[in-house]
Each structure stands twice: as C-alpha cells, then as structure tokens.
Amino acid sequence: MPGSEHQPRLPAILTVDDDPAVSRAVARDLRRHYGERYRIIRAESGADAVEALKELKLRGDTVAVLVADYRMPQMSGIEFLEQAMEFFPLARRVLLTAYADTHAAIDAINVVDLDHYLLKPWDPPEEKLYPVIDGLLEEWRAVGDRGMPYTKVIGHRYNDRSWEVRQFLARNEYSFRSVNADEPKGRQLLEAAGLDDSQLPVVITEKGEKLVAPTDGELATLLGLSTSPSLEMYDLAVIGGGPAGLAAAVYGASEGLKTVLIEKSSTGGQAGRSSKIENYLGFPFGISGAELTTSARRQAEKFGAEVITTQEAGRLKTGGVGAAHSIVLNDDTTIGARAVILATGVDYRQLRITGCWDDPDDPACNYIGRGVYYGASVSDNSECAGEDVYIVGGANSAGQAAMFMSQTAKTVTMLIRGPSLEAGMSQYLVDRVKRTENIIVRTCTEVIDTVADGDRLTSLVLSDRQTGETETVSCDRMCCFIGATPRTDWLEEAGIARDDHDFILSGPDVSKVSGWMLDRPPHHLETSVPGVFVAGDVRSDSAKRVAAAVGEGSMAVMLVHRYLAET
C-alpha cells in the first residue's frame, strides 16, 4: 500500500482456517473488536500462514495471538502452531476445535504449550471469544516481543542478593531483563550508570533511575506496593500472603470487614514460586503461581483490602475475650485487629549438609543463592540455560520446577529418597516428567555432601540408599523441595497451641489441650486463642494443596463473622 511505511506497525493477530466461511467469520469478529489496535491477518491453510509469519518476521513486526483450526488438510492446527513457535515464541496460542475434538486440545498442551482452546461456534463473541482474547492480549502485553524490557537488573550469577532481587520482581510479575555484570552488556550498562560491580545488584528502571543494592522496601516502592498500614485498628488482620491469606483478604474485604494483609516478602507463598499449577480448578491449561497470586492480590485490593508487603509480623499480643489483638511489625509499628487469621505458611526444610544451611558454627560456608536454592530458583527459565540442574524432592512442586527448567537446561536430574515418583506426585505430572527426554529420575538417592569452587556450588556427592555406594556429580544448580517447616516461632508470646512439629492446632484439636477459655467449643479453624484463626499449610494436618488453602482462607472469614457476632 502506498505510504504504508509511514503507518504505525500494529502487532498482529493471525488466524488460519481452511474453511473460507469460518475463516472470514473469525477475521470479521476479531477485526470488529480489535481492528483499531491490532492488525488482523487471516490465512486459509497452514502453509500460507507460515509464509505470512516469515514475512512478518522479516519486516520486524510482532504477533500477539495465533488462532488456528485443528482440522486442516496437509498441516493441522497443532502442526502449524508448533512451527509458528519458531518465529514468534511469545505469541499466545489458541486452537479452534469442534466439540468432538476437544481431546486434541489436551494433546496440544504438551506439544505447543497451548494457551486456550475455543469450541466452534463461539456465538455470541462478546461472551465466548472476546473475554478469552482480551486475557491473552493482556498476558502478551506484559511480555511482548521486546528484545530488552525497559527495566534491567544487573547482578552476578552467584550473588545471592542479585537472585533475591530477581525473585522479588518476578513473583510480583514485574517485567525486567536480568543481565550479568561480567557480560559485555552488563559492563556497558554499569559504565553508563557510573557504577562498578562492587555495587551489585543494580536496578535501572525504564525512566533511567538507578537503585543500587535496593532493599525489598525500595523494590516494593518501585512496583507501587504498600509498605505501611494506613490505620491503627482493623476488623481483620491476615498474616501471610499465600493462597490462604489472599483468599481470606478477598472474602474479608468483599464482605465489608476493614481488612489488612501483612506479607514479609511478596504475595504468593510457596504457590507463588510455582512455574505452573495445572491441577487448580478452572485452569485446564495451567497457570503460573505468580500470575494466580498476583491476580488474587489485585482482587483483594479491588475490594478495599490493604496489602502490606516487606513487613513481617514479629509478635502477636492477644487480648481478652472480645478484646482486640495487637500485631507488632518488624519496624515496631503496632496495629490492632478484632480478629486475626494466621496464614504464614511454611518454609522448605534445609538440607543439613555442608553449604546448604545457615550453620551458626560455619556461617561463611553457605552456598544458598550461589548454586543452592530452596524452592524454584529461577525467575525465567533462561537463567538455567545449558546447566546441569539437580532437584531434590519428589512432590508436585519439584515436578513443576523440573518441567519448567527442562525447557532450557542441559539436564535436569530429580533425586528421590523413595522408590518411585508416584508416591508423592500427581499422576498427570509423573507422566509429563517421564515423557521429557532431558529429565532424569534417580530413585533411592540422596545428597550427602557438596563440593564448591570458592563460594559457589560445583558438585554434589550422592549416595545410593540401597547399596551405600557414593558418586560425585557435576552440578550447576541444586533446588531443594524436601518438606516443610511452619513459620510459627514468632507466636511464642501469644501462647497459641501447636503440635509436636510446631504446626498450629485448631478446632476439635484445641479441645484436647488446656487453655481454652470459653464455654462454647472452638470454631473449626479457631486456634487456642479465641478470635485468632488459622488457614493453609501452617495448620496442623492441612492438605498442603492450593485449592485447600484457598478454601480454608475463605472459610476462616465465615468463622470470623460468627466470632465477631458473638462478641
């Protein structure tokens, strides 16, 4: 078109269907709703669509969404999407299927990491098409096809604070690119900022602002997160921002309670570190932990809950029956609440071997953040590109991390003390792990020692629990998922009853211990202190599943209402 070089280069939405009538209908509906912001391109065969993508790539254009029909001659929709990933790997992928072909969409999850499938016909598009495409476009815009996002994190591969900064930003779904200071790009950015590698990590914002070795509070301010409560007294204080705490904040605020949620780092808890949660109700194609929990935080804030990050509850002072409780934060701020929900979750248990735990007798020998990690260790899977990664543990969180890192790692080896994966992992995940060529599963194996070069991990010493034989293996990164330690040590002063493993007792279990002060029995999720409730993984005998935590968080709010009505 004459003068087209002067037109703005809109990102494209490409649709391909071999049925001309359907092809025109898809393009018509998309153009009607998105035509002013996106270029709508249609093709009537997979081959034509691939050629269109090649041309777009050569021109430097971007593609936001790909919509492909499943049943096409010569090249199926899945085959097309698989080829399309080579040109535009960040484009969101949608498969059009008839009802009888929904099995194809399930297969496509494993082949092309499908984002959504749509059943034909989708009338009315306002209900069945546009909400899906709107969500995918929002996800795409958060990443786009930019070579370098505006915000850069300059750090060192084996600097533990650099790793913590990347994790904080990633878990809050803040778009950035990590650059190592010893790479040409990193040295160039440091020189331009007038800094050197003794000041790492450095965050350079899209406005050119420099944050040198930023604290979590400074990062929270960058992200626009609240770091201090606005009130002295609340109806409900939720301690902990994992799925249970977020659910409690959503339901508390939506039902009219003045609600505050206190989280010491970033919302999400252990679930927020998961690369993909695939067995949570309502998300057939899975959802990342960060995406799920960030959406939940926004939902809580929409209803009026205050979400305070980078603050830790240091002490809980319980009031009498019907009296307010006091929470003392780590900056000595004190807030009051008529009711409290404890949703502090758990930490991964540390390996008690050299360099893998906070050893008070040898504090200098610590490789945590320098090759040893607890939970997921990467903010994006490119961080472990070409590495030999070892994952200790065999539960779902370990399997999800293995699948995520296997996309770029040279090898991912799962070390399991027991005889099989099936004992602790959901079957759908077991099947995916076994199908992935570069994931190796070693059963009846444990880590007994580490080898380091300077201050970073280089090798592991493994032991076969059946034969007793040992072996030293090269390791670039070890991620541990070996059980849970509850975050309850700060509750000593409050006198809240706990079990032998320090998980919080509640409901009927409280009746078995002394100290209950009321004639009525404790509510189901109520602790030994009236008006203080517990939800999620920190509760004794909890299910340790995201869905269970969300259910307990919402149920706890219902019980809070009962308690407040009684007092």
Q: Domain containing 248 — which CATH number?
A: 3.50.50.60
Query: Could you tell me the CATH number of the domain that includes residue 26?
Result: 3.40.50.2300
Q: Is residue 466 part of a domain?
A: yes
Q: pLDDT of 232-276, one tens digit each?
A: 999 999 999 999 999 999 999 999 999 999 998 888 887 887 878
What digits encode the pLDDT tens for the residues 267-315? 888 788 787 888 889 888 788 888 898 899 999 999 999 999 999 999 9
Residue 2 in this model has a pLDDT that exceeds 60: no
262 within domain boundaries: yes
Same domain as 75, residue 182: no
13 shares its domain with 139: yes
Same domain, 403 and 289: no
* pLDDT of 164 above 60: yes
For 520-544, what is each residue's pLDDT tens digit?
999 999 999 999 999 999 999 999 8
> Is 365 inside any structural domain?
no
Check if the beta carbon of residue 466 is closer than 8 Å to that of residue 449: no
Is 60 exceeded by the pLDDT of residue 465? Answer: yes
- The residue assigned the tokens 């070890």 is 478
Please check whether residue 333 is in contact with residue 345, taking contact to mean a CB–CB distance below 8 angstroms: no
Residue that finishes a domain, picked among 96, 117, 143: 143
Cα(521)–Cα(199) distance, integer angstroms:
57
pLDDT over threshold 50, residue 516: yes
Please give the span between the terminal C-alpha atoms of the chain, in angstroms, as a whole number: 74
Q: What is the pTM of this model?
A: 0.77
User: Domain tally for the chain?
Assistant: 4
Question: Which of 413, 466, 462 lies closest to 442 in space, CA to CA?
Answer: 413
Q: In terms of domains, do 161 and 243 share one?
A: no
Q: Which two tokens stand for residue 467?
A: 């034969």
Nearest to 323 by CA among 339, 309, 305, 312: 339
Do residues 444 and 463 both lie within one domain?
yes
Gap between the Cα atoms of 459 and 476, Å rounded: 7
- Residue 50 tokens, joined: 């691939």
What distances in angstroms separate CA 288 from CA 224, 275, 295, 301, 463, one per listed residue?
Answer: 22, 5, 11, 20, 34
Same domain, 137 and 159: no
Same domain, 331 and 267: yes
Whether residue 304 is contained in a domain is answered as yes
Task: Assess whether 181 and 125 both reside in one domain.
Answer: no
- The answer to whether position 545 is within a domain reads yes
For 472-496, write each residue's pLDDT tens digit: 999 999 999 988 889 999 998 898 9
Does the residue 138 lie in any domain? yes
Last residue of one domain, picked from the residues 462, 482, 502: 482
Give the CATH number of the domain where residue 217 resides.
3.40.30.10
Does the pLDDT value for residue 322 go beyond 70?
no
Same domain as 264, residue 327: yes
Q: How far apart are CA 448 and CA 251, in angstroms?
A: 46
In a domain, 2, yes or no: no
d(CA 344, CA 342) in angstroms, rounded, equals 6
C-alpha 77/C-alpha 429 separation (Å) is 25
In a domain, 4, yes or no: no
Residue 449 sits at φ, ψ, to 5 deg, of -165, 165
Closest by CA to 536, choosing from 294, 243, 239, is 243
State the residue range of the domain holding 391. 372-482
Pair (55, 91) in one structural domain: yes
- The contacts of residue 468 (CB under 8 Å, 6+ apart) are none
Q: How much is the pLDDT for 150?
A: 66
Last residue of a domain, one of 191, 222, 253: 222
pLDDT at 120: 77
Asked if the model's pLDDT at residue 109 lies above 80, the reply is no
Tell me which residue has tokens 């199926």: 76
- 321 and 400 part of one domain: no
One domain, residues 545 and 420: no
SS3 385: coil
